[in-house]
């Protein structure tokens, strides 16, 4: 059976290795390989001071383990090429199936990369003689199996957990935590530098905790072998094996649970009765009716719960992390960050409902209510939380001057977000798995990453007018002008919400059937393949692999020059902050600080624009080619110029 599973997995991988997925795999593979080589270098050279080398290696190995554990959470349930559901009818014992799936899981880029990384143990063992090296080879194998089985276990837990509301919230918390750690890692580095960790080594308590982590047991076994302490060697390796068996056993039980139980969600008792809050909302005309339906969905749809909680956790954690280095300055912006993230995660608002769009098509003429109701519900969902967070954050982390800034940006982004989400969801609808067929698994939200990023960026830009006015107020020390920024924010917000709503409404009216066609494809027919007259199925324009990889690269890395090296240093210069952290511009002398930060921002925007233009130009080219009539079976020649 194991052979059949491996063959099946390889076949599935081969079929899915196209376009962005291949690019993602290659990018990820290269990045992983660099990290793996880094791990070996750390073990092999005296790059790291002797005081911390073995602890640092333990930290890195722990990172690999947590990477495997959190990876599936971050990507939303791990790879789905071999789903346990596919095998639920086969007469196989759960444990045997778990074992088979585990072994099949070794096929792939990530296990190979991890194997290379873990071989750092062998390098490390060179200092402990032949016995150490011998033990290290066993340790590498056992640790690789351990991380794989732990990863599977997490996927299994997640698959069961995300089927409930609590699970969706927890998954959002873990997800947001991961994203924040990636984005705010500079704070941790700063804290490490600040405590002169590399010179004095880790605090003893930290080292003890580290030793107890299973990821360090291989190291323990090797050093014990070097000393000839064979009891400890046996205990460390035996512990790893026991852990693997236990995890495998639990995973097998979870597989049974996952494939034999179905989650069931109850509506709250009497939620729709007369006089209830949502009923009163619905009594206010058709827009209220739509808003009430939307708010019910926001509170019951696991995917939406996940996306919304993710935004809240992201904004709050993002601004809390700098407290490690006693910097409260980010707290007033928590609310704004939540709004921007909530706009990004709602960018596919219509798409999230799947083909339920048909109801509007058989009852046309209500597009305005459909759009306005969704905007209203989004605002009702997001505004109270973010106003509360902003007020609390500004009280704790702001000054008198921060208030107009925080409130102006909040107003501007709330309105801007409300306008942009409906626009993006009808102009760039991403077909996703039907709501009936998905849980809270964020991966099932479809490939919304690009759309999310664009909306995050655009929503941030909607705050620019208000920010300029607030800046002028601060610059010329005119509090009245600063407070006028709040009015500007409210005005641009209201204007954008109305304008975006109107455009979305027109688009919905004009292309409703085409949007439904795209949704019907359930993700197999991209909207770009649906032409103006709704003919679905024209081959989707696909970027060649090289360019696709380039686009992915640009989209991932353009944010570093834009935000951490560009806009944040600029903000710190203007607000007169003393700390320099890892912001390059802040290490320069004065005439150069602002130009360098601006140059970084410009560089990032250029990268972003290039990354956006490449696929658009490709699509235009594709359309131009397809407008040419096909004659005598030959492909049309691309137009010149």
Partner 1 sequence: MPLATPDRSTAALELTGLVKRFGPRTAVHDVTFAVAPGSFYGVVGPNGAGKTTSLSMAVGLLRPDAGTARIFGVDVWAEPVQARAMVGVLPDGLALPERLTGRELLVHLARLRGMDRATAAARAEELLDILDLLEAERTLVNDYSTGMRKKIGLATAMLHGPRLLVLDEPFEAVDPVSALTIRGMLQTFVAGGGSVVLSSHVMALVEQICDHLAVIDNGRVVAAGALAQVQAGASLESRFVELVGAAAGTRKAPSWLAP
Q: Which residues bind partner 1 (CB under 8 A)?
A: 264-269, 271-272, 282-283, 286, 289-290, 292-293, 296-297, 300-301, 353-356, 358-359, 361-366, 369, 434-436, 513-514, 516-517, 520, 533-539
Q: How far is the CB of 614 from partner 1 (least distance, A)?
A: 25
State the nearest-atom distance from the C-beta of 379 to partner 1, in Å. 19
**Closer CB to partner 1, 440 or 465, in the complex:** 440
Q: Assess contact for 373 and 291: CB atoms under 8 A.
A: yes
The CB-of-83 to partner 1 minimum distance in angstroms stands at 20
State in angstroms the smallest separation of the CB of 275 from partner 1.
11
Shortest Å distance, C-beta 533 to partner 1? 6
Cα distances from 172 to residues 218, 301, 609, in angstroms, run 32, 14, 30
Closer to partner 1 at the Cβ: 300 or 503?
Answer: 300
Q: 273: helix, coil or strand?
A: coil
Per the structure block, which two tokens stand in for 267? 């509506």
Which letter does DSSP use for residue 138 in this model? H
Complex with partner 1: residue 79 or 353, whichever CB lies closer = 353
Nearer to partner 1, 249 or 534 (CB): 534
Closer to partner 1 at the Cβ: 495 or 534? 534
| Cβ count near 443 (within 10 Å) | 17
Which CA distances in Å does 241 have to 96, 224, 244?
Answer: 17, 17, 5
Cα(395)–Cα(399) distance, integer angstroms: 8
Q: In 524-558, which positions are buried (b, 16+ CB within 10 angstroms) versus exposed (e)? A: ebbbebbeeeeebeeeebebeeeebbbbbbbbbeb
Spell out the residues 6+ positions from residue 375 whose beta carbon is closer than 8 angstroms to its own: 418, 419, 421, 422, 497, 500, 501
238 vs 285, which CB is nearer to partner 1? 285
H-state helical runs in 400-544: 402-427, 449-461, 464-475, 479-520
C-beta of 512 vs 569, nearer to partner 1: 512
Q: Give the nearer residue to partner 1 in terms of CB position, either 129 or 272.
A: 272
Residue 384 CB, shortest distance to partner 1, in Å, is: 21
* 264 vs 640 by CB, closer to partner 1: 264
Query: Do 447 and 527 touch, CB atoms closer than 8 A?
Result: no
Residue 69 in contact with residue 151, Cβ under 8 Å? Answer: yes
Nearer to partner 1, 64 or 298 (CB): 298
Tokens 């940006």 -> residue: 409
Least distance CB 432 / partner 1 (angstroms): 11
Q: Residue 633 — left, alpha, or beta (φ > 0 → left; ψ -120 to 50 → alpha)?
A: left
> Which residues lie closer than 8 Å to 339 by C-beta, 6 or more apart?
315, 382, 386, 410, 413, 414, 417, 459
The three-state secondary structure class of 627 is helix
Q: Which two tokens stand for residue 545?
A: 């692999």
Shortest Cβ distance from residue 282 to partner 1 (Å)? 6
Sign for the pseudo-dihedral over CA of 101, 102, 107, 109: positive
Nearer to partner 1, 358 or 553 (CB): 358
Q: State the minimum distance, in angstroms, from the CB of residue 174 to partner 1.
A: 24
**Planar angle of CA 598, 604, 608, nearest 5 degrees:** 140
Least separation, in Å, of the C-beta of 3 and partner 1?
A: 23
Compute the least distance from the CB of residue 637 to partner 1, in Å.
Answer: 20
Tell me the Ramachandran region of residue 343: left when phi exceeds 0, alpha when psi lies from -120 to 50, beta otherwise.
Answer: alpha
Nearest Cα neighbor of 318 from 460, 174, 183, 168 is 183
Q: Specify burial of residue 635 (Cβ count, 10 A radius: 0-12, 13-18, 19+).
A: exposed
Rank residues 12 and 380 by Cβ distance to partner 1 and give the closer one. 380
Residue placing its CB nearer to partner 1 in the complex, 291 or 340: 291
How near is the Cβ of 536 to partner 1 at its closest, in Å? 6
Please give the Cα distance from 205 to 131 (Å, whole number): 29
The rounded distance, in Å, linking the Cα atoms of 247 and 254 is 10
Residue (of 380, 384, 374, 313) closest to 347 by Cα position:
374
- Specify whether the CB–CB gap between 385 and 308 falls below 8 A: no
Minimum CB distance to partner 1, residue 373 (Å)? 9
Q: Which is nearer to partner 1, 229 or 625 (CB)?
A: 625
Give the Cα separation of 28 and 33 in Å (integer).
8
Q: By C-beta, is 249 or 513 nearer to partner 1?
A: 513
The least distance separating partner 1 from the CB of residue 264, rounded to whole angstroms, comes to 5
Supply the minimum distance, in Å, between the C-beta of residue 433 and partner 1. 10
d(CA 402, CA 459): 20
Tokens standing for 536?
């679905």
Token reading at 384? 């109270």
Measured from the CB atom, is 478 or 630 closer to partner 1?
630
- The first and second tokens of residue 34, run together, are 């660099």
Q: What DSSP string describes 398-409?
A: --TTHHHHHHHH
In the bound complex, what is the minimum distance in angstroms from residue 537's beta carbon to partner 1? 3
């Amino acid at each position: 059976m194991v052979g059949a599973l491996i063959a099946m997995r390889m076949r599935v991988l081969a079929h899915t290795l196209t376009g962005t997925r291949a690019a993602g795999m290659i990018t990820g593979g290269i990045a992983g390989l660099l990290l793996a080589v880094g791990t070996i270098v750390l073990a092999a050279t005296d790059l790291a001071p002797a005081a911390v080398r073995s602890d640092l290696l333990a930290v890195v190995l722990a990172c690999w383990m947590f990477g495997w554990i959190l990876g599936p959470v971050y990507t939303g349930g791990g790879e789905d090429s071999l789903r346990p559901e596919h095998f639920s009818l086969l007469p196989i014992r759960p444990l045997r199936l778990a074992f088979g799936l585990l072994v099949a899981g070794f096929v792939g880029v990530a296990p190979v990369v991890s194997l290379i990384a873990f071989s750092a143990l062998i390098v490390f063992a060179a200092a402990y003689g032949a016995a150490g090296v011998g033990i290290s080879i066993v340790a590498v194998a056992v640790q690789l199996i351990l991380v794989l089985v732990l990863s599977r276990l997490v996927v299994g837990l997640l698959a069961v957990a995300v089927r409930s509301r609590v699970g969706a919230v927890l998954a959002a918390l873990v997800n947001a935590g991961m994203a924040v750690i990636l984005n705010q890692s500079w704070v941790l580095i700063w804290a490490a530098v600040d405590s002169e960790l590399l010179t004095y080594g880790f605090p003893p308590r930290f080292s003890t905790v580290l030793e107890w982590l299973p990821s360090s047991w291989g190291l323990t076994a090797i050093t014990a072998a070097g000393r000839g302490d064979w009891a400890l060697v046996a205990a460390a390796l035996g512990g790893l094996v026991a852990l693997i068996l236990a995890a495998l056993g639990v995973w097998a039980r979870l597989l049974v649970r996952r494939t034999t139980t179905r989650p069931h969600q109850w509506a709250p008792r009497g939620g729709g009765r007369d006089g209830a809050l949502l009923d009163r909302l619905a009594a206010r005309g058709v827009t209220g009716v739509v808003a009430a339906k939307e708010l019910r969905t926001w509170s019951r749809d696991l995917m939406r719960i996940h996306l919304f909680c993710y935004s809240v956790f992201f904004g709050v954690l993002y601004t809390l992390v700098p407290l490690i280095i006693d910097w409260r300055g980010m707290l007033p912006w928590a609310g704004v960050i939540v709004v921007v993230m909530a706009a990004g995660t709602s960018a596919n608002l219509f798409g999230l409902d799947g083909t339920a769009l048909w109801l509007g098509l058989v009852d046309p003429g209500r597009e305005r209510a459909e759009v306005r109701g969704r905007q209203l519900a989004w605002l009702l969902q997001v505004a109270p939380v973010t106003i509360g967070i902003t007020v609390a954050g500004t009280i704790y982390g702001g000054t008198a001057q921060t208030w107009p800034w925080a409130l102006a940006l909040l107003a501007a982004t709330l309105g801007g977000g409300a306008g942009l989400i409906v626009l993006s969801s009808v102009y760039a609808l991403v077909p996703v798995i039907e709501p009936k067929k998905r849980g809270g698994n964020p991966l099932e939200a479809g490939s919304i990453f690009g759309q999310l990023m664009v909306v995050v960026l655009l929503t941030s830009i909607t705050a620019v007018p208000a920010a300029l006015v607030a800046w002028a107020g601060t610059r010329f020390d005119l509090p009245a002008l600063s407070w006028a920024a709040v009015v500007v924010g409210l005005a641009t917000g209201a204007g954008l919400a109305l304008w975006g709503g109107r455009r979305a409404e027109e688009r919905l009216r004009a292309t409703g059937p085409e949007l439904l066609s795209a949704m019907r494809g359930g993700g197999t027919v991209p909207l770009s393949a649906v032409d103006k007259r709704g003919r679905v199925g024209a081959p989707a324009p696909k970027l060649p692999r090289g360019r696709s990889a380039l686009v992915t690269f640009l989209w991932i890395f353009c944010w570093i020059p834009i935000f951490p090296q560009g806009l944040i240093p600029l903000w710190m210069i203007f607000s007169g902050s003393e700390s320099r952290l890892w912001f390059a511009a802040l290490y320069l002398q004065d005439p150069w600080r602002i130009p360098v930060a601006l140059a970084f921002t410009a560089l990032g925007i250029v990268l972003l624009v290039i990354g956006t233009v490449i696929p658009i130009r490709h699509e235009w080219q594709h359309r131009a080619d397809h407008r040419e009539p096909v004659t005598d079976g030959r492909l049309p020649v691309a137009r010149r110029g």
